[in-house]
Amino acid sequence: MRRASCLLRISAGQVQGVWEGASRSGSQRLEAAADFSTSENAPTLRDAVDAVLAAILPPRRLTSPFVCVTLEGSLIMAAILPFAKLPKAQEDRRLVISQRFCREHRLEAGKVEVVGSPLHSPKSASPKTESSRILCLAVERDVLRQIESALGGRGLYADIITPEYLQKLGQINGGELEKPGISLFEGNGFRTILVWDGEGAIAHIATVRRPARQDPEGQRRMATRIRRYAQIVSRQDAPVALYIERRGAGDISKDLASSRGLKLLAWPGERPNPRKGAAK
């Protein structure tokens, strides 16, 4: 029996919500979206989340649903930092990572929530390199507070608040991705570029503003950036896989289609566009 779930996707200026009822109640599916802004008199993030929840939540709930909140890359600051040694205690480790991240990015420690995660699987880790490279992700505490406040107002608690690109990566990661590789995740005006090396470890994460279609110079710079990432993680002459979501394929594929060392692929689970299919 499937549990009811509430999925919220928060991007720059917009909240999208999906409610999927429990299997016993007919798996009712409801969707809603609301905009928010930081300008004065505009709905805040909390207002938008609350409006979406008001639209999709059923009036009566018997059980607590699974609540998953994904944040678009533009809401998250990411960095891969090397650490020579980290404390064993989890809280101490968290504190050290947070202090280092805030110091290097000139952030106030109390204003951001920093989460650090080793960039290798526990199986492949060797004792010497353990904890050497840490993926640090930070979100403004005010953003988290507004999300939790809106959820709490509706009697909900977020089981997961995670970056959208990591959630997508985790969902399809069943050995289908080629290594090394690059994936482009399209957001609301932003594009997140996730790069992994031949070992399957994340090598770089960057979220940049997506250039407009009528901006050839911006498109060229974007293509150059992706080629540079490919050169960094490529091994010998093996091409680097470039996974492109369907909605971003039109912008990027024509600039990179002729690039050597890149193999354009559709994001797993998405059927390639029959007219603008990915090409090598």
Which residues contact another protein by CB under 8 A? 69, 71, 113, 115, 117-121, 124, 135, 137, 139, 144, 148, 157-163, 166, 169-170, 173-179, 181, 196, 198, 200-202, 238
Helix axes 216-233, 246-256, angle to 10 degrees: 80
For the bound state, the minimum distance from the C-beta of residue 59 to another protein, rounded and expressed in Å, comes to 25
Rounded distance between C-alpha atoms, residue 278 and residue 41, angstroms? 44
For the bound state, the minimum distance from the C-beta of residue 96 to another protein, rounded and expressed in Å, comes to 17
Comparing C-alpha atoms, which of 112, 2, 137, 141 is closest to residue 65? 2
For the bound state, the minimum distance from the C-beta of residue 280 to another protein, rounded and expressed in Å, comes to 16
CA 8: distance to chain centroid?
13
For the bound state, the minimum distance from the C-beta of residue 27 to another protein, rounded and expressed in Å, comes to 25
Measured from the CB atom, the residue of 5 and 218 that comes closer to another protein is 5
Query: The sheet that has 112-118: what strands, in order across it?
Result: 77-82, 133-140, 112-118
Q: How far is CA 13 from CA 47, 75, 152, 155, 183, in A?
A: 12, 10, 21, 24, 23
Find out whether 51 and 43 touch, Cβ atoms under 8 Å.
yes
For the bound state, the minimum distance from the C-beta of residue 54 to another protein, rounded and expressed in Å, comes to 21
Measured from the CB atom, the residue of 157 and 231 that comes closer to another protein is 157
The amino acid at residue 279 is A
Q: DSSP assignment of 124-149, as one string?
A: T--TTTTTSEEEEEEEEHHHHHHHHH
For the bound state, the minimum distance from the C-beta of residue 80 to another protein, rounded and expressed in Å, comes to 11
